[in-house]
Amino acid sequence: MERRDFMKKTALATSASVVLAGCASDASDSGPPTVQTGGPRLRWRLASSFSRSLDTIFKAAEVLADRVRQLTGERFDIRVYPAGELVPAFEVLESVQKATVQMGHSASYYYIGKNPALAFDCTVPFGLTARQFNAWAYHGSGQDLTQRMFADFNIMNFPGGNTGIQMGGWFNREIHSVADLRGLKMRIPGIGGRVMDRLGVTVQQIPSGEIYPALERGVIDAAEWVGPYDDEKLGFARVARHYYYPGWWEPGPNLSFYVSQAAWDRLPADYQHALEGATMEANMYMLSRYDALNPAAFKRLLDGGTEIHPFPEDVMQAAAESSRELLAEGTSDPAYAQIYDNYTEWQTDADWWFATAEHAYSDFRHRVPDRR
């Protein structure tokens, strides 16, 4: 055999064995062989508004990225960056709008300064619960109406996770009536803060890392964050004993995935399908994850001496009234009025149904638990 032929055959044999070895290792290491779509290799960047420490929220974007990679034979690679690494937390929308990054994961109520109606893509005081929001988004007019708003920002938006109803926060003393709120210094951002302001609360804006020392030193009397799982990690129970519920200002905050319209339009149809499906998986992941983690954290907090209290009825009534007034103020703008009317009408019917069957059932289960 000529040396050249030998080299050629050896090279062929080697490449064949590499291919076979590749198949064998696919089959043994990671289940069935990966489907090769033959689509383009893409690398996108996703800017999150959240830090890794909010692991339940941050992870939702990683769930999305992992699934998109799997569905596209690893060809469509989305890298997830925590808040501040590529862009600051509250500039995610702008960054996607300018296509500095192809995707974002954020809360649309951060951007109500750009358009007050963006709140309806996330949550409003006394608004929809997580399940009601998903119903409105996927099966009502929600997705259609919010996508029309986001078209002004050259963004496609998709629901991207929910905390479920939040807690009303930590107070260093008991609240018996609206009168007790006057002059109370509370960390509460967003529209909830504006409502509390109308009830006489001195509203403070404090970043997450500074809430604990502010409570400890008495710079503030109360603070809200998320719910048992996230609140426990920040240690609030050590510096405020009274834990109020419900967090009526965030009854079902929906997070959103933002996709640059230009980047979306360049995606092959099968990549678009993969990405859209993955947003739904991330949405389910985050809510079910919170629902799995909160009960155990709640129990630990109660076992540790935290006292829970419902907000007094007059506080709930006054807050609901102020919220109604505040949300109705935007209706002089026809675009705001359209989404406000649709959301409100949807909620009226949804509340009636949920209060009837769901609430009656869970209320009975709570009052009369069985001891299996």
Evaluate whether 259 touches 158 at the Cβ level (below 8 Å): yes
Which lies closer to Ca ion via its Cβ, residue 102 or residue 322? 322
Pairing between β-strand 169-171 and β-strand 242-245 as defined by DSSP bridges: antiparallel
44 or 109: CB nearest Ca ion: 109
The nearest distance, CB 348 to Ca ion, in angstroms, is 25
> How far are the Cα atoms of 155, 166, 221, 251, 299 from residue 254, in angstroms, in the given order?
17, 12, 28, 10, 25
Find the shortest distance in angstroms from Cβ 188 to Ca ion: 8
Helix or strand (DSSP H, E) at 203 = strand 202-204
For residues 227 and 325, give the distance between their C-alpha atoms in angstroms, rounded to a whole number. 27
* Cβ closest to Ca ion, residue 109 vs residue 346: 109
Residue by residue, DSSP assigns 36-52 as: ------EEEEEEESS-T
Tokens at 156, concatenated = 């496609």
Task: Tell me how far, at minimum, the Cβ of 76 lies from Ca ion, in Å.
Answer: 33
Cβ neighbours of residue 163 under 8 Å, at least 6 residues apart?
56, 57, 130, 226, 227, 250, 253, 286, 287, 290
Minimum CB distance to Ca ion smaller for 76 or for 109: 109
Q: Which is nearer to Ca ion, 91 or 250 (CB)?
A: 250
244 bridge partner residues: 169, 309
Task: Look up residue 152 and give its two tokens.
Answer: 């002004």
- Residue 95 or 166: which CB sits closer to Ca ion? 166
**Between residues 91 and 231, which has the closer beta carbon with respect to Ca ion?**
231
Q: How far is the CB of 297 from Ca ion (least distance, A)?
A: 15
Least distance (Å) between residue 64 CB and Ca ion: 23
Exposed / middle / buried, residue 35 (Cβ in 10 Å: 0-12, 13-18, 19+): exposed
Nearer to Ca ion, 76 or 110 (CB): 110
Dihedral-angle region of residue 99 (phi above 0 means left; psi in -120 to 50 means alpha; beta otherwise)? left
**Nearest distance from C-beta of residue 45 to Ca ion, angstroms:** 27
Q: Would you say 112 and 57 are in contact if contact means Cβ atoms under 8 Å apart?
A: no
By the 8 A CB rule, do 95 and 104 touch? yes
Q: What is the DSSP string of 107-174?
A: -GGGGTTT-GGGGGGT--TT---HHHHHHHHHHSSHHHHHHHHHHTTTEEEEEEEE--SBP-EEESS-
Smallest distance from the beta carbon of 270 to Ca ion, in angstroms? 38
Cβ closest to Ca ion, residue 189 vs residue 200: 189
Closest CA to 67 of 268, 264, 289, 277: 277
Nearest-approach distance from CB 250 to Ca ion, in angstroms: 5
CB of 225 vs Ca ion, minimal distance in Å: 6
CA gyration radius, the chain: 25
Give contact residues for Ca ion (rule: CB under 5 A). Answer: 166, 250
